[in-house]
Structure 1
Amino acid sequence: MDKCVIILAAGQGTRIKSKFPKVTHKVCGKEMINHVIDTMKKANLNNIDVVIGKGAELVKECTASRNVEYSMQPEQLGTGHAVKCAKDFLQGKKGVVAIFAGDAPLITVETVQKLIDTHINECNVATILSSLVEDPTGYGRIVRKNGEVEKIVEQKDCNAEEKLINEVNSAIYCFDIENLLVALGKIGNNNAQGEYYLTDVIGIFESEGKKVGAFVTDFEETVGINSRVQLADAEKILRSRINKHHMTNGVTIINPENTYIGADVQIGPDTIIYPGCILEGTTTIGEDCIIYENCRINNSVIGDKTSVESSVIIDSEVGTGTSVGPFAYIRPESKVGDNVKIGDFVEVKKSTIGNGTKVAHLTYIGDASVGENCNFGCGTVVVNYDGKKKHKTIIGNNSFIGCNTNLVSPVEVKDNTYIAAGSTITKEVPENSLAIARAKQINIENWVLRKK
């Protein structure tokens, strides 16, 4: 049996007031469309077709790593028309197709699986994902007879009795593929909007006496995002879910309302997250870490027992038992070893820092390879740029770099070396050497008195 998914993502979303397609806007650091795709894959639904239209190239660009297919909807003529545009994707398949909205990122893996299971176990031709709400105004009502779905009635068509029904249609469905393809050929656009509605397929099945079911889930999961206000509401809901997940797994989050963790972040147990932190992308944080206040960590790996305080780490690796910050900046393609000290106002860019090295404060290390157990004095600068090209600096193990040193790349400092404070190093420093590269001090007595 085929199990596949169609995700509707062709609309521009005029109410969100953006030049970008609505489904590319992010919730907790990930595009809405990618939230839906990733949820499908976690539910073991890997055969996915995304219906695109407005801003098609941008949608393709942001989903390029997801290994999905695409169908084009050149004109937005309703949900039924969108599924018609995916007929080539469905042709030759036998089994189940689930249809989801690309702007409904709060759907959970459990609900997706239960919807599919309900559809198969009840032998339905169509299964509607429905919700129970206190105020159903504006939503299509699910009318049941003897427990089975009889029809969907839109708000404008409800009689007095039907208006009291609080089970509503989420516009998420599961269909038998062969029956769906036949029914799509029968729906028309004889309505005020001139559009093809997927709900008309449900009406066709009802008229033919085919079994239509419904699975009830939390309304929160089915909400589509149509405005910036709703985008913020979805962010709050998903952030709460993410934070609860981590706390359940043994992470201490001191103030969940003021902690921002992306959907794909992993955190080990007994780690403590202080307020104001932003953890993004595919970041992985180990066990027994302390992430102090106001840190931003993006697409990075932090080892066990490491602390980070008021610092930024991007696309980099930090080892075990290391201390970073406060106010450090670890820029992309950096690899910081174990038991390292990266102190206040230290910037590391595209460099490796060996185990046990200390870079305590006010230092820049760029395009460099630093060995183990080195010590950098305050104010050290790796001068890696000559105005046209970046050059590499190599520093061996057990080197001591005095305060206010300039290392002019390309240059190599061998193992077990000392560099005197205030030096500007332009040539190789041999192993076991002391390098002094500064002007001789001259004191001119009474110079100030003569100047006056």
Structure 2
Amino acid sequence: MDAIILCAGKGERLRPLTENRPKPMIPIAGKPILENIIEKVEDLVDNIYLVVKYKKEVIIEYFKNHPKVKFLEQGEIDGTGYAVLTAKDYVEEDFLVLNGDIIFEDDLEKFLKYKNAMALKEVKNPENFGVVVLDDENNVIELQEKPKNPKSNLINAGIYKFENEVFEILKDIKPSERGEVELTDAIKELTREKKIKGIKLNGYWNDIGRPWDILDANKYLLEKIKTNIKGKIEENVVIKGEVVIEEGAIIKANSVIEGPAIVKKGAIVGPLAYIRPNTVLMENTFVGNSSEIKGSIIMKNTKIPHLSYVGDSIIGENCNFGCNTITANLRFDDKPVKVNIKGKRIESVRKLGVIMGDNVKTGIQVSFMPGVKVGSNSWIGASCLIDRDIEKNTFVYKKDELVFKKL
């Protein structure tokens, strides 16, 4: 049996994090989303086909040496159905299909005994998802796309098991109104003859679609880690809770790390730095003197040298923070932080800091209001208070008039 993982999408709702990488390559708990998925299936299948398109070179470079991984490029037609159809000439038997942007806890072995099956998750807000209706024998009998009045609290969880014959159904599927060949249209064909089972997932599941989903999944995965310290620890360092410090990392004197936390190889922490729970410092990052990081993901090669605070934030690669750069993460009224997602202002979670792309530089004493997004390759001049989103490739600065007067 083989697996097909769908990795071609652009991840528009996660911009600016997806400006330079496909969504499945966003790191969570120290590794890309896609790597977490591959680890769930690699022992169950012979081949893993990654269907790629947007920023495909990032995925190919990272997984090119995996013994079971093969790459297929999605053509001009978009849609999950067409992505699966891309593998038609390569997959000969039954196969698994997984969305490339989900983090889940349950194992997949229970899918293998069915000819056709789809994973379902029970949620409190089914109206925001694709809703699935079952009969008394757990056959899927109806799909509803984000209905106002859902008939069930079970949603499509983005994991499927199919017989090879599903390719014949997909070949005849017409593009939807948005010009995409949808996998759900093929599933609707299977429901007409009660040929697909609904399998409820147990435990954690998260469809990574918004920035705060990343932080939530990061927290969940960090709860699973066990202390493993291989890096260099200098004098008077305090380590509490479960902490992973990889070989090649350095924790300098008088720093404090409270787990769960991961410090990847090449990272330097301190002196006098404070790393709080649910933080991941990726490779070759630097958190320096009197800087504090809490509940955040700091991507590769980013430097936060001194006197800065980063809370509940996601910071891209190759960023550099000037002294006393501060991210606010909580509103005065304690209400959910509002974030712009694809042109709409929506509520997120109670605590959310800045969402920053790659290659951003800040001057001294820059502050960010909660929920602000900063596009890649931007510069933020000294003493700026950023209270709105910044598009990529933007230089933001303010003009202060200095008055010189003789005493």
> Taking structure 1 as reference, are residues 180 and 298 closer, same or farther at Cα in structure 2, changes over 3 Å only?
same
Q: Alignment partner for residue 107 of structure 1, among 101, 104, 107?
A: 104
Kept after mapping to 2: 8 A contact 1:129/1:217: yes
The 1-side partners of 2:121 and 2:263 are apart by 37
1:297-446 correspondence to structure 2 within 5 Å: 298-299=264-265
- What corresponds to 1:228 in structure 2? 211
Larger Rg: 1
Q: Which of 249, 267, 275 is the matching residue for 2:240?
A: 275
Q: CA separation of 1:278/1:310 partners in 2, compared to 1, >3 Å: closer, same or farther? A: farther
Q: Which runs of 5+ in 2 are unaligned?
A: 231-237, 250-254, 274-281, 284-288, 290-407
* Superposed displacement of residue 40, structure 1: 1.3
Q: Which has the higher contact order (CA 8 A, sep 6+)?
A: 2
Rounded Cα–Cα distance in structure 2 between residues aligned with 1:310 and 1:47: 48
Equivalent residue of 2:89, what SS?
Answer: helix
3-state SS of the aligned residue for 2:180? coil
> Size of the alignment, in residue pairs?
261
**What corresponds to 1:331 in structure 2?**
none
**8 Å contact kept, 1:37–1:66:** no
Greater share of residues in helix: 1
Deviation at 1:282, TM superposition (A): 8.1
Partner residue of 1:185?
Answer: 171
Q: 1:206 aligns with which of 187, 191, 194?
A: 191
Q: Label 1:282 to 1:11 Cα distance change in 2 as closer, same or farther (>3 A).
A: farther
Deviation at 1:186, TM superposition (A): 2.0
- 2:61 maps to what in 1? 61
Give me the TM-score of the superposition, normalised by structure 2. Answer: 0.56
* Residue in 2 that maps onto 1:216: 200
Change (3 A) 1:153 1:115: same
In structure 2, C-alpha distance between the alignment counterparts of 1:210 and 1:12, rounded to whole Å: 33
What's the CA shift for 1:32?
Answer: 0.9
Does the CA contact (< 8 Å) of 2:25 and 2:34 recur in 1? yes
Change (3 A) 1:239 1:197: same
Distance 1:156 1:37, change over 3 A: closer
Cα–Cα, structure 1 residues 57 and 143, in superposed 2: closer, same or farther, change >3 Å?
A: same
Deviations 1:229-268 (A, max 9, x none): 211111111112x13xx3xxxx6xxxxxxxxx89xx9xxx
The one-letter amino acid paired with 2:211 is R
2:240 and 2:71 map into 1 onto residues whose CA distance is: 41
Structure 1: which 5+ runs fail to align?
252-260, 266-272, 285-291, 301-308, 316-326, 328-452
Once residues 202 and 17 of structure 1 are traced to their aligned partners in structure 2, the CA distance between those partners, rounded to angstroms, is 30
User: Which residue number corresponds to residue 11 of structure 2?
Assistant: 13
Query: For residues 14 and 183 of structure 1, do their structure 2 counterparts lie closer, same or farther at Cα, with a shift above 3 Å needed?
Result: same
What is the deviation of 1:28? Answer: 0.7
Alignment counterpart, residue 141 of structure 1, candidates 131, 148, 168? 131
Q: Tell me if the contact between 2:127 and 2:147 (Cα under 8 Å) persists in the aligned partners.
A: no
CA contact (8 A) 2:140 2:194 kept: no
Shift in Å at residue 203 of structure 1? Answer: 1.6
- Offset of 1:87 from its aligned partner? 1.5
1:146 and 1:297, CA in 2 relative to 1: closer, same or farther beyond 3 A?
Answer: closer
Change (3 A) 1:238 1:204: same
One-letter amino acid of the counterpart of residue 24, structure 1: M
In structure 2, what residue type is equivalent to 1:86? A
User: How far apart in 2 are the matches of 1:233 and 1:153?
Assistant: 27
Distance 1:114 1:58, change over 3 A: same
Q: Give yes or no for contact 2:7–2:51 (8 Å, CA) kept in 1.
A: yes
> What is the Cα-based RMSD across aligned positions, in Å?
3.9
Alpha-carbon distance in structure 2 between the residues aligned to 1:235 and 1:13:
18
Superposed displacement of residue 113, structure 1 = 1.8
Relative distance call for 1:201 and 1:283 in structure 2 (3 A) is: farther
Asked if 1 retains the 8 angstrom alpha-carbon contact of 2:14 and 2:210, the reply is yes
| Segments of 4+ moved more than 4 angstroms | 280-284
Query: Equivalent pairs: percent with the same residue?
Result: 23
Query: Is the 1:24–1:32 contact (alpha carbons within 8 Å) kept by the matching residues of 2?
Result: yes
Q: Decide whether aligned partners of structure 1 residues 182 and 206 sit closer, same or farther in structure 2, where only a CA change above 3 A counts.
A: same
The whole-number CA distance in structure 2 between the counterparts of 1:76 and 1:237 is 35
